Structure 1
């Protein structure tokens, strides 16, 4: 079941509140930490895990429609990162992080994914070869000011050309995600369409 929404404005205070709440929810279950990866966590998890399972979430889909002013863009030129938006389904991975490691991994993950508290962390049901598991995922509401809505090709190309943040460019993020998904047998047609768009305009090699 999803955690209830909170109404603290985006920023460090919201991020800290959500970390405290999510940590308490996890500890209450007394289990290993389960994380649903659908983007950069697939190709750059940065934490130790005991198991990685192919997984599918119903009710959410992956989309490159969240503004990023830190990780893949700046306040001057916002970039884009992936989010889970309501509707559809999404294939990814569920990582099983041992409890002892999770106590350290969760705050580190928060610093990476939630510097401004933009995502809505939720415990989602994930269908895996080991059955249905409840894993933490980073979702986004369409009411969020960081949701871009539909983007036209000229807007995407401008972002691919110019947006860069502390972890690199939006375009590199897109290309590495497409490759990381393929390595796990996942083809995301919308992300691949966006990567081919960049290639047609000479911004990268064909993916």
Structure 2
């Protein structure tokens, strides 16, 4: 885990994947948020949660895109909880993610801690066709559950927050189509 930390650590955390539905840390408030210059993609391997070291699942990361943005959820923590939340998330996101500080929009601009997996980490899978990613997700599972459960929960939570993400929706639709067509048993 590497980090880029300014002199004052922000009290906001930006979630764009499982953090949206399972923060598992105490927070004061949560708000819809947007980070600019990135898009959400299923390009990070998960050898520890939604896959195995031999067959990692696919989970989301933020990919730089100067014209793009990603909607998610921001969580504000109490100053007294900041250190324990950072330690918890550093451990949780230890599979190739780097902690960065970035401006996010929650109705006004604040700085937030964001965990991003870049292409230099050993678990980075990168881009693939929609069908290949869907095939991969439908067949992957790990200690935290199936990869399709992760994708389905992300799609459900984005819908709850009224966030439309074409990549997530298209991938989810393709996975369900494969599951139905091939009779792949993968509980959602």
TM-score for the superposition, normalised by structure 2: 0.87
Q: Quote how far apart the aligned CAs of 1:101 are.
A: 1.6
For residues 59 and 120 of structure 1, the distance between their equivalents in structure 2, rounded to whole angstroms, comes to 16
Residue aligned with 1:172, SS? helix
Is 1:97 aligned to residue 77 of structure 2?
A: yes
Q: 1:106 aligns with which of 86, 92, 109?
A: 86
Offset at residue 165 of structure 1 (A): 1.6
1:12 corresponds to: none
Aligned length: 181
Q: 1:157 to 1:63 in 2, by over 3 A?
A: closer
Q: Is residue 155 of structure 2 the alignment partner of residue 174 of structure 1?
A: no
Identify the residue that residue 141 of structure 2 maps to in structure 1.
164
Please give the alpha-carbon distance, in whole angstroms, between the structure 2 residues aligned to 1:97 and 1:125. Answer: 16
> Residue in 2 aligned with 1:75?
53
Which structure 1 residue ranges, 5 or more long, are not aligned? 1-14
Instruction: Tell me if 1:37 matches 2:7.
Output: no
Unaligned stretches of 5+ in structure 2? none
Whether the aligned pair in 2 keeps the contact of 1:141 and 1:147 (CA below 8 Å) is yes
Displacement after TM superposition at 1:193 (Å):
0.7
Aligned-residue CA RMSD (Å): 2.2
| Structure holding more helix per residue | 1
Deviation at 1:140, TM superposition (A): 2.6
Contact 2:135 2:175 (8 Å CA) reproduced: no
Most deviating of 196-205 and 179-188: 196-205
CA distance in 2, matches of 1:103, 1:39: 22
Task: Give the SS at the match of 1:66.
Answer: strand
- What are the Cα deviations for residues 75-130 of structure 1, in whole angstroms up to 9, with x where unaligned? 2211111101101111111110001122222211222111x4x112110110112x
The answer to whether the 8 Å contact 2:131/2:174 transfers is no
The residue aligned with 2:43 is: 65
Structure 1 segment 1-207 matched on structure 2, within 5 A: 15=1, 18=2, 25=5, 28-29=7-8, 33-87=11-65, 88-114=68-94, 116=95, 118-129=96-107, 131-201=108-178, 202=180, 203=184
Q: In the TM superposition, what whole-angstrom CA distance separates every residue of 1:30-71 from its partner, at most 9, and x where no partner exists?
A: 65x210011111111101111112111111111111111111
Secondary structure at 2:20 match in 1 = helix
